[in-house]
Amino acid sequence: MSCDYTKTTQCQERTKDPLEMFHSGHLVKICAPMVRYSKLAFRTLVRKYDCDLCYTPMIVAADFVRSIKARDSEFTTNKGDCPLIVQFAANDAQLLSDAARIICPYVNGIDINCGCPQRWAITEGYGACLINKPELVQDMVKQVRSQVENPKFSVSIKIRIHDDLTRTVDLCRKAEATGVSWITVHGRNIEERHQPVHYDAIKIIKENLSIPVIANGDIKSLKEAENVQEITGTNGIMVARGLLANPAMFAGYKETPLKCIWDWVDIALEHGTPFMCFHHHLMYMMERITSKQEKKVFNALSSTTAVLDYLTDHYSM
């Protein structure tokens, strides 16, 4: 397969205002930003299975502004890719607002990554370290608000929580006062990885804000999504690994249906998805429906042709 590139086009469905979706009273189902994975082809797939809103993988704002090559490789979209939020890693208000002005004709809004716990991101001043810099977060939101003319253009943030939840509530209130559109809360602190998600903390944050709040963390089925919304009172549910394992989960499927697997094949081939990405997505999707021996054989396949032959032989519809 060749490079994953589709010419960028202006978003044709501006009527799908995410803020209106959040105020509808219905569960808003969201595909999380996922490095390498939440690209155009995968977003196209999950939209077929009742995903309401998609995020791009995190893009470093400074690279996006300074390099046309980075823009072309990091961001692709098409007319059906709406509503869409681009997530930026940023630590400079001017660079972020420059990135927002470049991207605004093609998306519904931007999100500032204030939750990535990876060491490289924190070292660069991106991600979860920003939850300890509320003034910088405020400045970035203000700059984007002042330099993007479209009043419907959203500016959101995605955060982790502090051990002292009063600090998280304070951060969120300051962001709300500055004009942030909504806040996504991953219910773990910076050090936590696989520990239980603190849904009680998300509930408290929601109760202290007037803007929409999105819950994120360890949601693996539509029923779990509905339960978390009921527990937290949030306006939407964001899912990452659960969608990788089952892109049809928002449509109520408990495991990836065969139709979804073949939809992925068609979409990935149409979009020219690189083999490694194409194959890895299938590994995730088939994790729950294949035996240990089948996984060993399938995961060792090394070409698109071999994958297609295997699927035809073992998983024809």
Confirm whether 172 is a catalytic residue.
no
Is 280 annotated in some ligand binding site?
no
> What is the predicted pLDDT for the residue at 17?
74
Catalytic residue among 116, 172, 260, 277: 116
Q: Are residues 168 and 34 in the same domain?
A: yes
Is 33 annotated in some ligand binding site?
yes
Q: Are residues 117 and 39 in the same domain?
A: yes
> What is the predicted pLDDT for the residue at 247?
98
The model's pLDDT over 244-285, given as tens digits with 9 standing for 90+, comes to: 999 999 999 999 999 999 999 999 999 999 999 999 999 999
Q: Are residues 128 and 105 in the same domain?
A: yes
Residue 50 located in a structural domain: yes
Give the end of a domain, one of 222, 247, 272.
247
Residue 6 located in a structural domain: no
The parts of the chain modelled with pLDDT lower than 70 are: 1-16
> What is the predicted pLDDT for the residue at 122?
93
End-to-end CA distance of the chain: 24
The model's pLDDT over 36-65, given as tens digits with 9 standing for 90+, comes to: 999 999 999 999 999 999 999 999 999 999
Q: Are residues 243 and 262 in the same domain?
A: no
Q: Are residues 226 and 268 in the same domain?
A: no
Residue 2 located in a structural domain: no
Structure tokens at 222: 């539509």
CATH, residue 64: 3.20.20.70
Q: Are residues 186 and 269 in the same domain?
A: no
Is 43 annotated in some ligand binding site?
no
264: domain range?
258-315
Q: Are residues 162 and 266 in the same domain?
A: no
Number of domains the chain is built from: 2
> What is the predicted pLDDT for the residue at 3?
33
pTM confidence score: 0.94
Is 70 annotated in some ligand binding site?
no
Q: Are residues 156 and 129 in the same domain?
A: yes
Q: Are residues 237 and 264 in the same domain?
A: no
Is 87 annotated in some ligand binding site?
yes
Q: Are residues 122 and 266 in the same domain?
A: no
Q: Are residues 144 and 118 in the same domain?
A: yes
Q: Are residues 225 and 262 in the same domain?
A: no
Q: Dihedral through CA 146, CA 149, CA 152, CA 158, nearest 10?
A: -40
> What is the predicted pLDDT for the residue at 10?
56
